Structure 1
Amino acid sequence: MTDCSERCARIRLLVLDVDGVLTDGRLLFDAEGRESKSFHVRDGHGIRLLQDCGIEVALITARYSQALAHRARDLGIQRVYQGSVDKIVAYTELLFATQRREEEVAYMGDDLIDLGILGRVGLAAAPADAHPEVLARAHWIAQRPGGMGAVRELSEEILRVQGHWGGIMARALGQV
């Protein structure tokens, strides 16, 4: 088993940055200043697949967005840390709340603000278009950019390594 596979095998909690990971990083505002975000449905499905297999998903973001609050509720993500400029503080709270060890945690981030957490987790992941400093420190890099299926790729990698993929495919094909 490769180093990355060994890391994936231990994951029980996936933590995601939002802007640049679950979205493409662009901030969209209407004429009244209301923010909107675009989320890829495949990323959401990957999150659901992880949850169905007992892997918890949490979000840590430096910004606050009502659109994100709605999306998190839609996906059943209960641990959402918004407005976390110091992401390490939120990450430490999350570890305490979930009673997870760092080697059981995967984190996907895309920019310098994510480096502190990426350096501590068992599996540091990045979308293809992440900042070069993030890419240099990642254990795993998606082929797709943030907001365009990178989270789904990571979800499938973890599920394959942990042996869940065969059952997921059997259900999808109506064989179970």
Structure 2
Amino acid sequence: MEVSYKELMPQIDTFIFDVDGVLTNGIVTVFPNGELVRQMNIKDGYALKSAVDAGYKVCIISGGSSQSVRTRLEGLGVTDIYLGVHDKIEVYNQLLDKYNLLPENVLYMGDDVPDFPVMEKVGFACAPSDAATEIKNISKYISPRKGGEGCARDVIEQIMRVQGKWKGKFYAKYD
């Protein structure tokens, strides 16, 4: 019998996110000087900060290597930021060892083939609605939101609400 994604939420204590296509819409603006600029959703940022403040481990593993992305994430309190990563499973395994994490307590949200190896290993694999087919096929939850349009907020808020840790819980009940 397959487990409902809602049944996986109470045990999550660690969030790992890809950047391009998850925390951004995957579009990069290239300036004449070669600088690459990405847009990040402010609601995703609020949720990341809320998760950090609530004591969750929040990690980033990305193939991109933008210093502005690092600066933004550090400003939200994220300390485990791995950019320019070619082998995401290696970094994932290092995180498991570093923090003594159990795979079943880890959520990973990715959108494309480089995320596949890690997503196969975690307890809760998630994807934005515009993720690659291979990624959607192994995801236990597909957000109705696209990358860069609140998909990280969606999963963080749901998990924090289920666990009674969402700051906005007194405003509305989340179904």
Q: Is TM more than 0.5 here?
A: yes
Partner of 1:4: 5
Please state if 1:169 is matched with 2:159. no
Q: Which moved more, 1:75-84 or 1:2-11?
A: 2-11
Q: In structure 1, what is the Cα distance between the partners aligned to 2:4 and 2:109?
A: 17
Deviation, 1:164, is: 2.2
1:146 maps to a residue whose letter is G
Alignment partner, residue 55 of structure 1: 56
Paired letter, 2:101: R
Shift of 1:56: 1.5
Output the CA distance in 1 between the equivalents of 2:101 and 2:168: 25
How far, CA to CA, are the matches of 1:143 and 1:168 in structure 2? 20
Structure 2 equivalent of residue 88 of structure 1? 89
Give the TM-score taking structure 2 as reference length.
Answer: 0.92
Match of 1:45 in 2: 46
Aligned letter for 2:17? L
Task: Give the drift of 1:108.
Answer: 0.1
SS in 1 for 2:24: coil
Distance 1:149 1:168 in 2: 16
- Residue 14 of structure 1 corresponds to 15
- d(CA) in 2 for partners of 1:83 and 1:47? 21
Q: Distance in 2 between matches of 1:70 and 1:126?
A: 24
**C-alpha offsets along residues 36-64 of structure 1, whole Å, 9 cap, x if unaligned?**
11100000011112122221110000121
**Is residue 2:67 matched to residue 1:66?**
yes
Are residues 1:138 and 2:139 paired? yes
Partner of 1:152: 153
Pairs aligned (count): 170
Q: Distance in 1 between matches of 2:107 and 2:78?
A: 16
The runs of 5 or more residues in structure 2 that have no matched partner are none
- Map of 2:104 onto structure 1: 103
Counterpart code for 1:156: E
Q: 2: CA distance between counterparts of 1:49 and 1:168? A: 10
- % identical aligned pairs: 35
The one-letter amino acid of 2:155's match is L
